[in-house]
Amino acid sequence: MLDIKFMLSSLYAVYNVPMSCFEEQEFIFSTDSEFEINNSSIYNSKLIKNLIKEWDGSPFLKLEKNNVMYGVCQDPNKTVCVVGPVALNPLTSEQLYDYQVEHNLPKKIQIQCTSIVKVAALLALLHWEMNGIKFNFYQIIEQLNLDPEHDKITEKDLFDYSFQNSEQSKDSISPSIEKKILNAISRGDLETIKTMLAKPYLNERVGQMASNVLKQTEYIAVSGITLFTRAAIDGGVNFEEAYNLSDLYIQKVSAAKDELRIYEIIKNASLDFCSIVQNFKEKKYESKYIRQCKQYVEKHLFKRFSLADIADEISINKCYLTNQFSKQEGTSLKKYIHKERIKAAQNMLKFSNQPISVIANYLCFDSQSHFGAVFKSIVGMTPQNYRMKNMLVSSQKNLEV
């Protein structure tokens, strides 16, 4: 059974976006203790109740005035998660005051500013965990009921833009260079990518897509990452793996504070997409059953399953599967499962303050002692020692052992 509170608390530790949980429209808890103590009025407001009523089976975003946003997701048991409130742009003191008055909030409550991409990505992840259904965050963003007239391009817009570009003599990245980069990614040709990245292609001036330089660079990055994703899929990479990497890199772009950081992200993304194609091509002779087996393990790290369950899922004899896995991978399937679960545990120990006993249970170990023994055999230290050595300082304040 999914532990909603643990999941939201862990996501809050990473995303730092407030989230709350409701059952039958009644407020249960919030991830932000300051928000929970002072914000009961908003959680029991007509606004939240109306948001919950709007649920139609798909995660959705809702914009209020001044670009204050909420996201909503619900599971089959009618447990509702509300993401937000967050602001898509910094609120002026007047706007914040109006919001505090409207919802009867104390003055010390602040509305965090974040990107729509981060909120949509978080909502997509919540929906997958709660319902087992995957949404690309672009699908969620597209469902927003934005003013269509606002985005129309007029003849005057086209004239002004063309005139501005001709005056500034802007260059764009050569289509032939773009094609070479994408072809190199689809071939998994890391050496070509490294050679091309040593040249200043990414720093060439391109047509203006936004009214400020940082936003312009962000748009360029998202466009590039989208092309890298398609090139990787053309190279044979699993659709899901490519889009997961794409989502993570776009989240990094949305969090970047300056142009140089975004350019570094673009370069790293091109290398990573090329690497996953290269890895795929190196392993293309790997048994189909082994690939399916690994995919099953990856999707079920937080659920109890047996080796027989895997064999049944991919329609193969259990003994044959375990023998082939050991022969091809050089380790037993059971040890592989433990290794993958311990990888997940390492992230939880670093990025959340959940008790080790809860993490052990969440990763389906029989007991905390069993978890500790397996963890030490793989990592070389106890979970507690690993946590104290690697945990982020910001997560240590409310640490539970």
Tell me the pLDDT band of 362, cut-offs 50, 70 and 90: very high
Are residue 110 and residue 192 in the same domain, yes or no? no
* Percent over 70 (pLDDT), the chain: 78
Are residue 244 and residue 195 in the same domain, yes or no? yes
Determine if residue 332 is left, alpha or beta; phi over 0 gives left, psi from -120 to 50 gives alpha, anything else beta: beta
Are residue 191 and residue 266 in the same domain, yes or no? yes
> pLDDT digit string (tens) for 35-76?
555 445 566 667 777 777 887 778 888 888 777 888 888 888
Are residue 176 and residue 278 in the same domain, yes or no? yes
Are residue 139 and residue 184 in the same domain, yes or no? no
Distance, in Å, from the CA atom of 196 to the CA atom of 190, rounded to the nearest integer, reads 10
109 phi/psi in degrees, rounded to 5: -70, 125
Are residue 14 and residue 133 in the same domain, yes or no? yes
Tell me the pLDDT band of 6, cut-offs 50, 70 and 90: confident
On whether residue 263 sits in a domain, the answer given is yes
CATH at residue 29: 3.30.450
Q: Which residue, of 259, 282, 305, is where some domain finishes?
A: 282
Are residue 14 and residue 84 in the same domain, yes or no? yes
Structure confidence at residue 161 (pLDDT): 44
Structure confidence at residue 313 (pLDDT): 92
Distance, in Å, from the CA atom of 247 to the CA atom of 136, rounded to the nearest integer, reads 8
- What order of strands is seen across the sheet that includes strand 79-87? 26-30, 19-23, 79-87, 68-74, 60-63
* Dihedral in degrees, nearest 10, Cα atoms 281, 284, 289, 294: -20
Structure confidence at residue 106 (pLDDT): 67
On whether residue 290 sits in a domain, the answer given is no
Q: Which residue, of 282, 303, 321, is where some domain finishes?
A: 282
Residue 250: domain span: 172-282
Question: Across 167-181, 206-220, 296-310, which has the greatest mean pLDDT?
Answer: 296-310
On whether residue 379 sits in a domain, the answer given is yes
On whether residue 387 sits in a domain, the answer given is yes
Q: Which residue, of 125, 144, 163, is where some domain finishes?
A: 144
Is residue 264 pLDDT above 90, yes or no?
A: no
Question: Across 153-167, 255-269, 329-343, which has the greatest mean pLDDT?
Answer: 329-343
Is residue 242 pLDDT above 90, yes or no?
A: no
Would you state the structure tokens that stand for residue 21, as one six-digit string?
A: 């949980």
Stated as kind and residue range, the H or E segment containing 6 is helix 4-15
Is residue 4 pLDDT above 60, yes or no?
A: yes
On whether residue 44 sits in a domain, the answer given is yes
Are residue 135 and residue 15 in the same domain, yes or no? yes
Distance, in Å, from the CA atom of 348 to the CA atom of 358, rounded to the nearest integer, reads 10
Are residue 8 and residue 140 in the same domain, yes or no? yes
Are residue 234 and residue 363 in the same domain, yes or no? no
CATH at residue 366: 1.10.10.60
27 phi/psi in degrees, rounded to 5: -65, 130
The more confident residue out of 34 and 88 is: 88
pTM: 0.40
On whether residue 322 sits in a domain, the answer given is no
Are residue 136 and residue 213 in the same domain, yes or no? no
Task: Please count the structural domains in the chain.
Answer: 3
Are residue 360 and residue 240 in the same domain, yes or no? no
> pLDDT digit string (tens) for 109-139?
778 888 777 888 888 888 888 888 877 776 7
Structure confidence at residue 293 (pLDDT): 92
On whether residue 270 sits in a domain, the answer given is yes
Is residue 212 pLDDT above 60, yes or no?
A: no
Structure confidence at residue 358 (pLDDT): 94
Q: Residues 146-175: what's their mean pLDDT? A: 47
Is residue 262 pLDDT above 80, yes or no?
A: yes
Q: Which residues pair with 26 in a beta bridge?
A: 23
Structure confidence at residue 180 (pLDDT): 85
Is residue 143 pLDDT above 50, yes or no?
A: yes
Q: Residues 94-107: what's their mean pLDDT? A: 78
On whether residue 104 sits in a domain, the answer given is yes
